[in-house]
Amino acid sequence: MPRPKKGRRICGSAAHHCFKPNGVPLSKLKKISILPEELEALRLADYLNMSQQQAAEQMAISRQTFGNIVNQARYKVAASLIEGGALLFDDKEQNL
């Protein structure tokens, strides 16, 4: 049985529900979901240029957990750009 997921503090959200290449219908693209916690990690680390420790404190998680989350998010963004996929911003989780 997996360990229960600890809540994360998420303050930002996406401006739109997806980001995709122009001129290609969404139905023809590979879809890659970005979780709210992954988008928040990108916002804090790359947009606001926070250190991993500062960002982890902001999200109320450990620095190692933050590092894992931001690495997953960066991989998904890179895969989307390289493979020409669509990033879908998942809003199923509740903001804390």
pLDDT for residue 94: 38
Q: Residue ranges of the domains in the chain?
A: 26-89
Q: What is the pTM of this model?
A: 0.78
**pLDDT digit string (tens) for 25-83?**
999 999 999 999 999 999 999 999 999 999 999 999 999 999 999 999 999 999 999 99
User: Residue 52 CB: number of other CB atoms within 10 A?
Assistant: 17
Task: Supply the DSSP symbol for 60.
Answer: T
Of 1.10.10.10, 3.30.200.20, 3.65.10.10, 2.40.50.100, the CATH number of 26-89 is 1.10.10.10
